[in-house]
Structure 1
Amino acid sequence: MMSKLCLPPKDSMQRVQFEIPAHACDSHAHIFGPNELYPFAPDRSYTAPESPLESFIQHLERMGFERGVLVTPSPYGTDNRSVLDALTAYPDRLRAVAVADTGVNVDTLRVWRKAGVCGVRFNLYAVGGDKVYKNGAGLDVLETLAPMMRDLDLHAQIWIHAPDLVELAPRLEKLNVPLVIDHMGRMNAALGRDNPGFQKLCQMLGAGNTWTKISGADRNSNQQGQYGDIDDFASDLIAANPERIVWGSDWPHTNYFDSTMVPDDGILLNTLHRWLPDADVRQKILCDNPGQLYRF
C-alpha cells in the first residue's frame, strides 16, 4: 500500500536572532528526488515530496550556512545515489552519511569515504519493542561492518530511542567505532531527564567516543512552536561534553501531515541560540565540531 505523502518544508522562516558564524554546518538533512532519477523503495514508511539537492542548497543559504551533511533517508533503503551525486556536485560544501547492508565490501566503502561519506547510519529506533520505521540497517549489520568501518575511520550514526541505550550501549561501545546518536536520542520530553537511557547518553558523551546531534527538538517536544521543554535536555548534553555536540535542522522535516506542525527553520535556529548564548560555544557546535567529525 502506498504510504501517505508528507507535507513539504515551509517556504519562509522566522528572522534569525543571532549572527551565523562562518563555516556553519547543518549536520543533519535529507534530499528527495528528482523521483525519475532516484525512485523510492516500494516498501517504505513515508513518502516525501521532492526536495532535491538545489532546494537544500537554497535552504543552507537562507539560513546563512556554508556546509551541510546529507543522510540517506529510509525511503531509499540502501540506495545512496542521491547523496553520492550531491557530493560530486558540491565536494567542498557537503558531506554524507550512507546506509549499507552486509553485502557492501571494503572497496565500496573506500570509494564512498573518498567521495565524502563520513559515516554509516543504523536504524535501531524502536519504541516499546516495535520498530518505528521500515528499511535501514540494524545492529547485526553494524557488528558485521564495524571492522571495515574502523579501518576506514567511518563513524556509526545510530538512530535509537534513548531508553534502549541502557541495554544496547555495551554492544555498541565494544565495537570501538565512533558513535553519533541521532536527535538527542529521539526521546519524548515527558520521559524526563532522569530517564536512565538519557543519563546513559550523557555518560557516553562524557567518555568521549560518542557524539550526539542536538537536532529534532520538534520531534521530541510536547510544546510545539518554541520547544521550551527540550531546553534542559539540550543543556545537559552540552554540559556533558561540548566537544561532542553538533546541530542539524532535519530539513525537509519529513513525516508531518498537519501544516501547523511543520517546523520553521528560523524557530529551530533561535531555539539553538537559547541553548547556546555564548558565541564561542556556538562556534564550536556549529563549526569546529562538525569540521572535525565530517572532515571539512
Structure 2
Amino acid sequence: MSNTALRLPDGSCDCHFHIYGPFERFPAGSEGRFTPARAFTIEDAFALWDRIGVMRGVIVHAVGSGADNAVTFEALRRFPDRLRATAILQPDVTDRRLDELTDAGFKAVRVTMIRQDGKPVSTLGTSFDDLVELAPRLAERGWHAQIWIESSDLAAAAESLERLPLTYVVDHMCRTMADKGHRHPDYVAFTERLKTGRYWVKISGADRNTRAGRPYRDTAPFMRAIVEAAPDQVVWGSDWPHVGHTDETRPDLQDLLQLLWDCVPDEAVRRRILIDNPTRLYGF
C-alpha cells in the first residue's frame, strides 16, 4: 500500500455505512456477532468522512435497530442535504409511515437473502416474501430494493425478483467469496445483469468476501469485472463501522481505498462511481 493517505474527490458519497446510538436514546438490538460493542453515531461517521473526503452518504439501517428506523430517521431529519437511507420494513407498515420515510430521504428497503448451509443467515429484517408484499407500494414512491445475496442465489432468484416492479442494488459485490472465482458462470451472469440497467451494485465488503485477508487483493478481480461490465451502475461504500469483525480483522479504511484505486485507476471512472452515480441513484 502507498505510504500516502488516499483522499476521495470532493463531493464523494459513501453509499453503505451504518450508525448505532447513542444507546440511551436508540438501544442496539441483538444481531449476534454483528451487535456493536459501542455506539457509532452520525457525528462519528462525519468525523471519518472529514478525514477521507466524503461529503454525502447513504445510511443502511442496521437490522438490530428495529423496523421503526428511528435512529436513521432522526439523522436524515438533521442532515437532509448530506444523507439518504435504506430502511428495514415489515409488510404491515402504513402508507402514512411510508410517506414520512420517503419525505425524510429513505430511498430503498433492505432485504437479506444471504444463506449459509442452505438456510437464511438471519430471520431479522425484511425478507423476500415481505418484499413481494411491499413492492407495489414501494414502486409508487420511487424506492428500490437493496439486496444482500450471493451470485448463485441471485441466479436462482432473478426471475422472481424481476417480476416485481423494482430495480435492485446488490450489496458487497454480490457477496461472492473470493475462492469461487470471478469467472464462475453465476458471477458472470450477475455482471451481465448490470448491463440491463435493472441492477446496480456496491463495490464494498472486500473484507467480508476475502479468503486471504488484508489487503484483500483476492477480491480485486471481482471489483474489476463489475466496473468493466457496467461502470454507470456502480457505487462505492465503506461499510463502516465494520461490525462483526474482531480488533484483529477489522479493516483499515486506507486498505479499502487503495483497493478502489487499484481496481479503478481511471480518475474519470472513479468520479462517476463516487459522485455522479450516487447522485442519480439516491436523488441528491
**CA distance 1:291–1:16, shift in 2 (3 Å):** farther
Tell me the TM-score normalised to structure 1 length: 0.91
CA distance in 2, matches of 1:201, 1:247: 17
Deviation at 1:118, TM superposition (A): 0.8
Q: Does 1:293 align with 2:281?
A: yes
Tell whether the 8 Å contact from 2:31 to 2:63 is kept in structure 1 after alignment.
Answer: no
1:103 to 86, 92, 95: 92
Equivalent residues in 2 for 1:1-20, closer than 5 Å: 18-20=6-8
Counterpart AA for 1:85: E
1:284 aligned residue (272, 276, 284) = 272
* Compared CA separation, residues 224 and 153, structure 1 to 2 (3 A): same
Contact 2:6–2:52 (8 Å) recurs in 1: no
Normalised to the residue count of structure 2, the TM-score between the two structures is 0.95
User: Does residue 195 of the first structure (1) align with residue 193 of the second (2)?
Assistant: no
The Cα of 1:178 is off from its aligned counterpart by 1.0
1:156 maps to which residue? 145
- Choose which of 249, 263, 270 in structure 1 pairs with 2:258: 270
Following TM superposition, by how much is the alpha carbon of 1:117 offset from its aligned partner in structure 2, in angstroms?
Answer: 0.6
SS for the counterpart of 1:234 is helix
Partner in structure 2 of residue 231 of structure 1: 220
Change (3 A) 1:39 1:117: same
Instruction: Say whether the 8 Å CA contact 1:60–1:68 is kept in structure 2.
Output: no
Question: How much has 1:15 moved relative to structure 2?
Answer: 6.1
Which letter does structure 2 place at the counterpart of 1:89?
R
2:74 maps to which of 85, 88, 96 = 85
AA matched with 2:93: V
Q: Is 1:26 aligned to residue 23 of structure 2?
A: no
1:77-117, Cα deviation, whole Å (9 max, x unpaired): 31310111000111101111011011112221121111111
SS at match of 1:50: coil
- Cα 1:180/1:43, change in 2 over 3 Å: closer
Residue deviations 1:93-149 (CA, integer Å, cap 9, x gap)? 111101101111222112111111111101111123122234111111111111011
Q: Higher mean Cα deviation, 286-295 or 193-202?
A: 193-202
SS in 1 for 2:25: coil
| 1:47 correspondence with 2:35 | yes
Matched, 1:37 2:25: yes
Unaligned runs of 5+ in 2: none
SS across alignment from 1:211 = strand
| Structure 1 stretches of 4+ moved >6 Å | none
Give the share of equivalent positions with the same residue, in percent. 37
Instruction: Look up the match of 2:241.
Output: 252
Letter in 2 for 1:55: D
Partner of 2:115: 126
Distance 1:51 1:43 in 2: 15
Contact residue 12 and residue 274 of structure 2 kept, 8 A: yes
Deviation at 1:238, TM superposition (A): 0.8
**C-alpha separation in 1, matches of 2:150 and 2:220:** 18
CA RMSD of aligned residues (A): 1.7
C-alpha deviation, 1:223, in angstroms? 2.2
Aligned to 1:213: 202
